[in-house]
Amino acid sequence: MGSNRALLALAVLFVTLARPVEPAQVVEDFESYTAGALSGQNGWFTLSGSSSAQVYADNGPGASGGQCARLDNAAGSGIRLIRRIGNLVGTDKILNIQYDIRNLTNHSGMSPTTIRVRVLDNSNGIQYWPSIDNMHYDGGGDPGCQAQVSDGNQKNIWATGGPAWHDTGWHTVAWRLNYATRTFTGVRFDGREYPQFNYYFKYSPGYAATADALELNLTGPDGNNDVWEVDNVILTSTPVPQPIPIGTAKGLADGTAVEVQGAITAAFGGDAAPKFYVQEQTTRTGIQVRCGGYLPDLLLSAPFAGQMATDEATHERYIQMPGDWNTTGARSTRTVALTLDDLGGEAAGLQEGVHLGLGLNNVGTLVKSCGTVTGKGADNSYVYITDGSGVSDGGEYAGVRVDLSAIAAASRPNLAAGSFVIVTGISSVYEQGGSYCRTIRARSAADISVALAP
């Protein structure tokens, strides 16, 4: 009986560790407001300035009838509005600041204006401290996603930021701040991630330690007549990820919620089910991840949350993400050098081993192997190599298949039989004659090098 209780407690612990934590959120969509002045509604007040900030009906990016906030300085010296909110952060939180925005007078030839949608620290009730000075600046050209930050040595610099836009339509922007490391880690523009590396909060610790005030801020010359609109402000605070090891995730049943972290080693956007691979730096264990959005760039490091699943065709375990991913930095990754008989390996957790697999399971890991070409597909979409270890999938050629299908047909290397090649790619699985066999998936033509011609 005691052992059963212990097993039950362990199972509960695994599920608890694997379950992503629900976020704290503040949403400002202006839908419950009355058309007219924003100041005085739902806690908003004008801190400074005399320009206009209005709630406009039937003008948001959402469904018909949506409302938004419109700011302009047709007269006055800009305007700064504040709404106090409950503190969203602590030293263990990540804050995402997302909103829809447009510049109705883009390329109007007017004087420069700057608009800010920020979250501030007003914990002393007097001053307002931003973590970073994120903004959009219209200098007569295209407004961009800019941020003034610190270099880590109390010197203010401009971060790389995000792209500019040329039109007068709506765009969705999100800024991500890590309050544990006091870093600006990324900006997302219309769904695409622009990672930010080695950028720190603008002020020293003790300032911008909370996030308890929402700000709308428009500055620029009097009478400039620049008009901006903001809608659907969503502030989301989540704990700093505490991911479980990838090896542990592979041992959990399909449908189990998990969160892992690692660096991106490969992306296969041309597959019927677009996917990428994540690898831990210490254990070098990797896993396949699928998501509905665009795929991340190589070497980006991020937490990935979703549900465990198994590919019906190959029996390879993977994580199905329901939404977006957000970078937390960048990390280098190292390949694992393996002989061909060590590829794939034996079963581990719920990840099946490959046909006649030996040793540790390495499905999903970035590997490097070498061997002599024994044959290839007519379209160069695959080749077979052997290193003398005697492994075979029972196919038309001796050795192990190297999958080149992710490389554009015109760029695939034309490898002659007898060539000795060095191959880098993902240790993966494919079905051959009813068996699940080892394979290496090359990411690009650069993954194949000819060490010795026949």
pLDDT in tens, 406-446: 999 999 999 999 999 999 999 999 999 899 999 999 999 99
Indicate the pLDDT class of residue 299, thresholds 50, 70 and 90: confident
CB neighbours (10 Å) of residue 116?
18
Tokens of 115: 């608009």
Q: Are residues 207 and 72 in the same domain?
A: yes
- Residues 36-93 have pLDDT tens digits of 999 999 999 999 988 888 888 767 776 556 899 999 877 777 899 999 998 998 888 9
The mean-pLDDT minimum among 19-28, 202-211, 324-333 falls in 324-333
Indicate the pLDDT class of residue 115, thresholds 50, 70 and 90: very high
Q: Are residues 151 and 71 in the same domain?
A: yes
Distance of CA 310 to the CA centre of its chain: 22
Q: Is residue 201 predicted with pLDDT exceeding 50?
A: yes
Asked if 90 and 212 count as a contact pair (C-beta separation under 8 A), the reply is no
The mean-pLDDT minimum among 9-18, 255-264, 299-308, 309-318 falls in 9-18
Position 441: which residue type? R
Q: Are residues 139 and 220 in the same domain?
A: yes
Q: How far apart are CA 391 and CA 406, in angstroms?
A: 24
Task: Out of 213, 239, 265, pick the residue that ends a domain.
Answer: 239
Q: Is residue 292 predicted with pLDDT exceeding 80?
A: no
Cα Rg for the chain, rounded, in angstroms?
Answer: 27
Q: How far apart are CA 251 and CA 263, in angstroms?
A: 20
Residue 2 inside a domain? The answer is no
Residue 441 inside a domain? The answer is yes
Q: Are residues 273 and 406 in the same domain?
A: no
The mean-pLDDT minimum among 13-17, 266-270, 331-335 falls in 13-17
Task: Out of 197, 223, 239, pick the residue that ends a domain.
Answer: 239
Q: Are residues 250 and 379 in the same domain?
A: no
Q: Is residue 224 predicted with pLDDT exceeding 90?
A: no
Q: Is residue 168 predicted with pLDDT exceeding 70?
A: yes
Q: Give me the pLDDT at residue 10, please.
A: 36
Q: Are residues 40 and 132 in the same domain?
A: yes
Number of compact structural domains in the chain: 3
Indicate the pLDDT class of residue 16, thresholds 50, 70 and 90: very low
Q: Domain range for residue 306?
A: 246-330
Got the DSSP string for 391-453?
Answer: -B-SSSSSBEEEE-TTS-GGGS--PPTT-EEEEEEEEEEEEETTEEEEEEE--SGGGEEEEE-
Q: Are residues 200 and 313 in the same domain?
A: no
Strand stretches in 155-285, DSSP E: 156-158, 171-178, 183-189, 192-195, 213-219, 227-239, 257-268, 275-279
Task: Out of 299, 330, 361, pick the residue that ends a domain.
Answer: 330
Average pLDDT over residues 334-361: 95
Residue 3 inside a domain? The answer is no
Q: Are residues 317 and 347 in the same domain?
A: no
Residue 1 inside a domain? The answer is no
Give, for 279, the enclosing helix (H) or strand (E): strand 275-279
The mean-pLDDT minimum among 200-204, 218-222, 230-234, 281-285 falls in 218-222
Average pLDDT over residues 347-352: 96
The CATH number of residue 286's host domain is: 2.40.50.140
